[in-house]
């Protein structure tokens, strides 16, 4: 019988594999046919499907920025952090590796073209500079974590969080693909960057730092706004007459 930590590891590894293979795979193998809109929906649908497939096992973080954010929100025991993050990175690399094996099986495959990697400056799809790309990644990850915090709150209707979170990732990609190819997820960036190598690895630092920063900021912002539960409300002191 596999342990709880083992189930979390396997679930997060599979979930991140699906996200990277489904999202990045749509960009690499079919990007010219489906465009930004199609790729955006591929990422969102990959996440939505995995929320319902593995959410009951691990919560379906499949993103180190989400896991770290939930630790800061005290919604996840920090002792589980290594199991989540290592599994996510491994899953991302497996997704990138299988995608590489498939993509390289056609004549004329040129991995230097990008391989769905994230970049800034001359490697940004729209040639956006470093500052613009950093702001975009921080703000878009903020949006993702803020959505997750809100839709997993006990006052949110149960069973619908996956739809909201998946659609939020679609919107995030519609905005972010022209700027950075959209990361908001260090595991997603690592999973393809190590196969592209070169400039993708040199610029990887931004897509490790910015998502963590955006996620942590979102958690603290939501803590200021979150609805109160009955257990949070202290009874008023009655004055004796």
For residue 140, what is the enclosing H or E element?
A: helix 130-151
Q: What is the pLDDT of residue 113?
A: 79
Residue 159 pLDDT class (50, 70, 90 cuts):
confident
Contact 136, 179 (CB under 8 A): yes
Tracing tokens 């293979």 back to the chain, one arrives at 21
**What mean pLDDT comes out for the span 158-182?**
94
Quick count: other Cβ atoms within 10 Å of Cβ 131? 9
Q: What is the pLDDT of residue 228?
A: 66
Is 183's pLDDT higher than 80? Answer: yes
The answer for residues whose C-beta is within 8 angstroms of residue 184's C-beta and 6 or more apart is: 63, 65, 137, 140, 141, 144, 169, 172, 176, 211, 214
Residue 237 pLDDT class (50, 70, 90 cuts):
very low
Distance CA 175, CA 198 (A): 26
Q: What is the pLDDT of residue 238?
A: 37
Which CATH class name applies to 4-103+116-225?
A: mainly alpha
Q: What is the pLDDT of residue 235?
A: 42
Tens-place pLDDT, residues 1-32: 789 999 999 999 999 999 999 999 999 999 99
Quick count: other Cβ atoms within 10 Å of Cβ 11? 24
Is 234's pLDDT higher than 80? Answer: no
Is 196's pLDDT higher than 80? Answer: yes
Is 229's pLDDT higher than 90? Answer: no
Higher local confidence (pLDDT), 239 or 168: 168
Is 241's pLDDT higher than 70? Answer: no
Nearest Cα neighbor of 24 from 86, 111, 117 is 117
Q: How high is the mean pLDDT of the chain?
A: 92
The answer for residues whose C-beta is within 8 angstroms of residue 185's C-beta and 6 or more apart is: 19, 62, 63, 64, 65, 211
Distance CA 160, CA 158 (A): 6
Tens-place pLDDT, residues 94-146: 999 999 999 999 998 989 878 999 999 999 999 999 999 999 999 999 999 99
Tens-place pLDDT, residues 29-66: 999 999 999 999 999 999 999 999 999 999 999 999 99
**What mean pLDDT comes out for the span 68-88?**
96
Distance CA 12, CA 137 (A): 22
Distance CA 112, CA 110 (A): 5
């Amino acid at each position: 019988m596999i342990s709880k930590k083992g189930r979390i590891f396997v679930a997060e590894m599979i979930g991140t594999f699906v996200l990277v293979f489904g999202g990045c795979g749509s960009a690499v193998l079919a990007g010219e046919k489906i465009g930004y809109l199609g790729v955006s929906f591929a990422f969102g649908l990959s996440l939505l499907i995995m929320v319902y497939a593995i959410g009951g096992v691990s919560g379906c973080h499949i993103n180190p920025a989400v896991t770290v954010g939930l630790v800061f929100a005290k919604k996840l025991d920090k002792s589980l952090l290594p199991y989540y993050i290592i599994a996510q990175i491994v899953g991302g690399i497996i997704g990138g590796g299988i995608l590489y094996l498939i993509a390289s099986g056609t004549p004329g495959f040129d991995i230097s073209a990008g391989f769905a990697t994230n970049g800034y400056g001359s490697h940004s799809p729209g040639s956006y500079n470093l500052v613009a790309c950093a702001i975009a990644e921080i703000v878009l990850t903020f949006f993702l974590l803020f959505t997750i915090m809100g839709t997993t709150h006990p006052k949110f209707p149960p069973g619908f969080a996956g739809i909201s979170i998946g659609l939020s990732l679609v919107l995030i990609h519609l905005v972010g693909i022209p700027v950075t190819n959209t990361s908001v997820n260090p595991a997603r960036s690592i999973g393809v960057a190590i196969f592209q190598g070169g400039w993708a690895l040199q610029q990887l630092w931004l897509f490790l730092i910015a998502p963590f920063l955006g996620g942590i900021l979102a958690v603290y912002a939501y803590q200021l706004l979150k609805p109160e539960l009955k257990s949070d409300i202290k009874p008023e002191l009655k004055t004796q007459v």
